Chain A
Amino acid sequence: MKFTVSWLKDHLETDASLEEIVNRLTMIGLEVEGVSNRAERLAPFTIAKVIDAGPHPNADRLKVLTVDAGEGKPLQIVCGAPNARKGLVGVLGRPGDYVPGIDITLSVGKIRAVESFGMMCSERELELSDAHEGIIDLPEDAPVGQSYASWAGLDDPVIEIGLTPNRPDCTGVHGIARDLAAAGLGKLKDSGAKQVRGTFPCPTGVTLEFGDTKPLCKAFALRLVKGVSNGPSPKWMQDRLVAIGLRPINTLVDITNYMTFDRGRPLHVFDAAKVNGDLVVRRGRSGESIEGLNGKSYEVDDTICVIADDNAVESLGGILGGELSGCTEETTDVLIESALWDEDGIAATGRKLGVNTDARYRFERGVDPDFMLPGLEMATQMVLDLCGGEPSEIVQAGTVPESAKVIDFPYAEVKRLSGIEATTAEINLTLKALGFWISGAGDTVKVAAPSWRPDIEGKADLVEEVVRILGLDRVPVTPLPRGRTVASRILTTGQIRRSKARRALAARGMNEAVTWSFISKSHADHFGGGQAELMLANPISADMSHMRPSLLPGLLSAAQRNADRGYPDVALFEVGQIFGGDAPEDQKMVASGIRRGTARLEGSGRHWAGAANAVTVFDAKADALAALSAIGAPADKLMVFRDAPGHFHPGRSGAFKLGPKNTLAVFGELHPRTLMELDISGPVIGFEIYLDALPEPKAKATRSKGKLLASDLMPVRRDFAFVVNTSVEAETLLKAARGADKALISEVTLFDVYQGKGIDPDQKSVAIDVLLQPVKKTLTDEEIDAVSKKVVASVEKATGGTLRG
């Protein structure tokens, strides 16, 4: 919402400075988004007279002007305007001046080899209007050498406020003035509408025809003014409209626009000569369409409210008038419409057709119903004043709904919700100044909201009115009471796990990324997602259309972007949500990461101490295990399975599980096909940890870590090497060795895997180191031999291998 200071002062008697007005507006909830003063912006431009105009030696269309700027010697200026001529008084910009309309700071230039020391400006170049047919042509008596802006009365700052959707009353300057007056910044001028007596019945009838459907129009008033003479509106009106960014059309149209901004009351004018028969306000019919005043054509249907005559649809009710019956300078008889539309209908139509107009903006927020007729009277008076003519009586269809809403208001509510200590008198004064009615006495009174405040529903709304006008600085800063005990843990298990996984992975040299929750369908499909219920109906782009089933595609794309920028060795991870479906419980938290190129734990790239090798599945396994340990997964109970999802290399991937059904994490090298699908170059490894899959830890009675059992007896180490088939998994062998004597064997370490010379090609040698920890007494050679035999027997039985001789 924009308006000028002089416009505001039509409604508000005040001595307040611009700064005071601007501050107060913001502090009562009408946030000032900008103040611009054309006089300041155009300060350097002066009135100048062309004392000679000659042809340009090198260009037919250009002229070389000699311009008197009122000081010193005349300037030579090259000008292409068709109306540039000797004797013209116009507006001059000189080198160094900024021309806002073309966003250029002038300098001395040479145009076709002739020097030019400035520019004679058009209205568009100074952002005064769209006119660009020629340079500004001022009256001959305009004072040469003076500031153009101050001579032209442009010294009227434009204030723009960002209006919240609850304040339709402030879509007009009058409403803004009312708020300022209530806030003590002046006195609201009473500029009520006077009734204009019609001298004949309105020849055009109006009916609302909605049958048994919801009426999209509540009431509709119309009047004819015949014998008007339309033409450009007066300068003061044009100046104001231009100042707030509107284009003056002709007096009749300008009056409706003026009323829209002056009073927040949109109106429409029809050229009566172009209306056939009576007007019917009804739902549109499929097949019907309308040419709007904005030059665009719209198809209508039965959700859209139209005004039609015998011929055609003439207007999109409350949103946009039609070109067919629009007023032009030839109009002599005008029908003025003032109506009340259904707010939801206006909003729905506006959204459906994509039309944003000043009328829609107001009607969908709710215009003052009680001002429908006064608005029409006021507009009629303006038409009579500016265009002459003879008014008819008003014809009205429908009835203006009762708007009075009475609220029981305990004064104590102000203190209860805001903390402000305000007197009853202050509260009454404030509410009355805003147009509220108060009746009754005592602690609780009855308050009626004015018809222009559809946003007022209850007590809390009244508190807001009081608080915003009295000022939020009166709210006393009051500490929240602190608890009487030391704070206990506030994070949930899930939150703690995310934090631990995050910092564990970062401590492994990985970099945390945050990638989009939505990815392309093809990426989602490839990672087991892409379901219809996870597809956005209105994605911001095609590659952000589906909720992600995994963090890997986002991370892989990110790694590739980094590689394309020259950083091929990156380790990235993310802790975030994935979506298995659209129900809340289908959203899971995971920690996922990738390493590309040589981005390993020990470091990446070449180094004097030895270049890093390409990442392998074991880097992924180590990351996954580290994060699992960090979140408290029982390392001794984790089992490694081969069944990782299909986007991993089938022979180089696995899963950590607690039991065969509960997968805690998957890891591996990415499948070559996955990389191809995502257009990623490898090598890349990745992992995904399902943070919610780990069962909630059991509550413990004590935090004690238990007694340390450290034996005084020397442990004994024995090495064994077994020759087994290549298909035998290390875990099988280790498990067999560990289980050979659970009392004595405290640790089994696998320290060598060998394939090659001396071993059959389909076999491998696996060497382990078994640590025996005696508990009661030192082991004898016989005891050690006995355990060794058990280890060999157990491993041979489990693996089908033999002890290597």
Chain B
Amino acid sequence: MSHLNELETDLIAAIEAADTETALEEIRVSALGKKGSISEQMKTLGKMSPDERQTMGPALNALKAKITDAVAARKAMLAEAALNARLASETIDITLPLRPSPAETGRVHPISQVIDELAAIFADMGFSVAEGPDIETDDLNFTALNFPEGHPARDMHDTFFFNEKEDGERLLLRTHTSPVQIRTMRNEEPPIRVIIPGRTYRCDSDQTHTPMFHQLEGLVIDKTSHFGHLKWTLEEFCKAFFEVKNVNMRFRPSFFPFTEPSMEVDVQCDRSGGEVKIGEGSDWMEILGCGMVHPNVLRNCGLDPDEYQGFAWGVGIDRLAMLKYGMPDLRDFFDADIRWIQHYGFRPLDLPTLFGGLSS
């Protein structure tokens, strides 16, 4: 039996010493292969006496099992070590910076975003969105809107004109979105609730005026809507747009040829910190003009002013954007400076909704 003990000791030592799977396999074959040391011992069992076999058989089987287990254990250990070594070798610097993803770097212009915000708000109040061309006739831009020919109110508009045609017609770039009021009233039956966003043009250029800017016109025509509804509409709009609980608004009488009575609207704000905060403070800032649609305008659209009535307003979209998002200079809106767009623009997937919050 002592030779078995010796064999076991040798094999176990060899197994423990094997440092590769190949070496280990060689040892396994040398012990348990067809001609392995243990297999050879097994072959001798047949020639033994029954008594000898009685003791040697179990001993050899036990040895075989022990060596088999030892090989398996060593193999598992070697595999584990190999994996660990591989993992260690595969380690990389995960602090290396990524390329930003396109959806992360792309931006939507604040004007587009604000128009989407406005559409979301007014859709909730039952308005739809109407549009009209930038190149307009004098009639739709002025005359039908009750601007008398040659009246100083026309001068206030600093109009861009095209050259006079042979038939004497002179087209112009619309100075406001109000011509679309006329187009809408002439083409649709009341009740009408529309907002009209669009590009507008005036020959003017400084920090708060650009020759091209954006307006949002609103128009409500039915048989009952009055000043009180207009007040409500604008107050609700301001609260929703500026995303504040309360907005103090001041309605002042004013004059526009196409509304009567007419008002200008100021919002209370705080200008102390270099930034305008709507909904607090004690300053007033003018944000829009509005009024009841002038009877002459209704008549010009084939509506009887004793039957139909309604209101309209006009507000600068760029100005709304500046007030809400803090851009200091209107001219930058049209310069396409990538730094400005990146800073003031909006991420493409941030589509404003009322249920999700306009800008949250």
Q: Pick from A28, A490, A503, A584: contact of B348, CB below 8 A.
A: A503
A412 to chain B minimum Cβ distance, whole angstroms, is: 11
Q: A508-B106, A512-B112, A536-B173 are in contact. Are A417 and B261 (CB under 8 A)?
A: yes
Q: Convert A492-534 into 0s and 1s, putting 1 for each residue whose CB lies closer than 8 angstroms to a CB of B.
A: 1011000100111111111111111110000000000000111
- Minimum CB–CB distance from B175 to chain A (whole Å) comes to 13
Q: Hey, which chain B residues are within 8 Å of A482, CB to CB?
A: 125-126
Which of A570-610 touch B at CB < 8 Å?
570-572, 575-577, 579, 582-584, 587, 601-603, 607-609
Neighbouring A residues of B163 by C-beta, 8 Å: 532-533, 535, 537
Given contacts A495-B129, A509-B102, contact A467 B253 (CB under 8 A): yes
Which residues of chain B have C-beta atoms less than 8 A from A601's C-beta? 102
Asked if A468 and B253 sit within 8 Å, CB to CB, the answer is yes
- A167 near B211: Cβ-Cβ < 8 Å: no
Q: Is the CB of B133 within 8 A of A584?
A: yes
Query: Does the CB pair B152–A478 fall under 8 Å?
Result: no
- Cβ of B295 < 8 Å from any Cβ of A? yes
The reply to whether A347 and B262 contact each other, CB–CB distance below 8 Å, is no
Interface centre among A164, A457, A562 (most CB of B within 10 A): A164
Tell me if A758 counts as interface (CB < 8 A to partner B). Answer: no
Q: Which of B88-136 contact A (CB under 8 A)?
A: 96-97, 99-103, 105-109, 111-112, 116, 119, 123-129, 131-135
Q: Inside 8 A of B229's CB, which chain A residues have their CB?
A: 419, 478-480
Question: Are A540's CB and B129's CB within 8 A?
Answer: no
Is the CB–CB distance between A480 and B233 below 8 Å? yes
Residues of B within 8 A of A535 (CB): 162-163
A477 touches B341 (CB 8 A): no
CA distance A365 to B153 in the complex (A): 9
Q: Which of A480, A511, A584 contacts B106 (CB 8 A)?
A: A511
Q: Tell me which residues from 285 to 308 in chain B have a Cβ below 8 Å from any Cβ of chain A.
A: 292, 294-296, 305
Is A515 in contact with B336, judged by CB distance below 8 angstroms?
yes
Whether A515 pairs with B337 at a CB distance below 8 angstroms is no
Q: In the bound complex, do residue A479 and residue B232 qualify as a contact, i.e. CB atoms below 8 Å apart?
A: yes
Q: Which residue of B lies closest to A468 (CB)?
A: B253
Contact among A513, A540, A582 for B203, CB-based, below 8 A: A540
In the complex, whether A555 has a CB less than 8 A from a CB of chain B is yes
The reply to whether B119 and A351 form a contact with Cβ atoms under 8 Å apart is: no
Q: Are A464 and B253 in contact (CB under 8 A)?
A: yes
Min CB distance A508 to B, Å, is 5
Q: Is B171 part of the binding interface, using a Cβ–Cβ cutoff of 8 Å?
A: yes
Docked pose: A419 CA to B232 CA in angstroms: 12
B325-343 to A contact mask, C-beta < 8 Å, 1/0: 0000000011111110110
Residue contact B254 to A507, C-beta cutoff 8 Å:
no
Q: A579-B135, A584-B133 are in contact. Are A463 and B261 (CB under 8 A)?
A: yes
Give the number of residue pairs across the A-B interface with Cβ within 8 Å: 258
Contacts of A562 in B (CB 8 A): 336-338
The A interface is mostly helix, strand or loop, or mixed, namely mixed
Smallest CB separation, A234 vs chain B (Å): 34
| A507 close to B102 (CB less than 8 A) | yes
| Shortest CB distance A66–B (Å) | 45
Q: Which of B105, B132, B211 contacts A509 (CB 8 A)?
A: B105
Interface members, chain A 434-478 (any B CB < 8 Å): 457-461, 463-464, 467-468, 472-473, 475-478
Closest to B256 in A: A164
Closest residue of chain A to B226, judged by CB?
Answer: A419
Please determine whether B133 and A587 come into contact, CB atoms closer than 8 angstroms: yes
Query: Which residues of chain B (240-278) have a CB below 8 Å from chain A?
Result: 251-255, 260-264
User: Are the CB atoms of B232 and A477 closer together than 8 Å?
Assistant: yes
Among A365, A495, A534, A570, point to the contact of B162 (Cβ < 8 A). Answer: A534
Return A724 CB to nearest CB of chain B, in Å: 35
- Is the Cβ of A512 less than 8 Å from the Cβ of B126? no
Within 8 A of B (CB), among A342-391: 343-344, 347-348, 351, 364-365
Chain A residues in 8 Å Cβ range of B124: 487
CB distance B149 to A536 under 8 Å?
A: no
A96 to B43, CA, bound (A): 120
- A490–B123 CB distance below 8 A: yes
CB within 8 Å for A517 and B150 given contacts A561-B336, A584-B135, A587-B133: no
Q: Which of A165, A571, A608 has the most CB of B within 10 A?
A: A165
| Contact of B309 with A by CB under 8 A | yes
Known contacts A479-B229, A536-B161, A582-B171; A491 and B129 CB within 8 A of each other: yes
Residues in A neighbouring B262, C-beta threshold 8 A: 464
A34 within 8 A of B: no
How far in angstroms is the closest Cβ of chain A from B109? 4
B226 near A505 with CB under 8 A, answer no
Interface residue from B151, B171, B335 paired with A347 (Cβ < 8 Å): B151
Interface 1/0 per residue, A553-579 and B, CB below 8 Å: 011001001100101001110011101
Q: Judge whether B173 and A582 touch: CB under 8 Å.
A: no
The yes or no answer to B225 lying at the interface (CB within 8 A) is yes
Chain B residues with CB under 8 A of A539: 160
Q: Which residue of A lies closest to B292 (CB)?
A: A417
Of A475, A514, A602, which is in contact with the most chain B CB atoms at under 10 Å from its CB? Answer: A514
Q: Is A672 interfacial (CB-CB < 8 Å)?
A: no
9 pairs across A/B with beta carbons < 8 Å? A26-B252, A164-B254, A416-B309, A533-B162, A537-B163, A561-B335, A565-B339, A576-B199, A603-B100
Which residues in B have some Cβ–Cβ distance to A below 8 Å? 96-97, 99-103, 105-109, 111-112, 116, 119, 123-129, 131-135, 149-153, 155-156, 160-165, 170-171, 173, 193, 199, 201, 203, 205, 211-212, 220, 225-229, 231-233, 235, 251-255, 260-264, 292, 294-296, 305, 309, 333-339, 341-342, 345, 347-349, 351
11 further A-B contacts with Cβ under 8 Å, apart from A468-B253, A570-B338, A582-B171, are A468-B261, A472-B252, A482-B125, A506-B103, A514-B333, A516-B212, A517-B134, A544-B211, A562-B337, A602-B99, A603-B100
Please list the residues of chain A having a beta carbon within 8 angstroms of any beta carbon in chain B.
26-29, 31, 164-167, 343-344, 347-348, 351, 364-365, 415-420, 457-461, 463-464, 467-468, 472-473, 475-480, 482-483, 487, 490-492, 494-495, 499, 502-518, 532-540, 544, 547, 554-555, 558, 561-562, 565, 567, 570-572, 575-577, 579, 582-584, 587, 601-603, 607-609
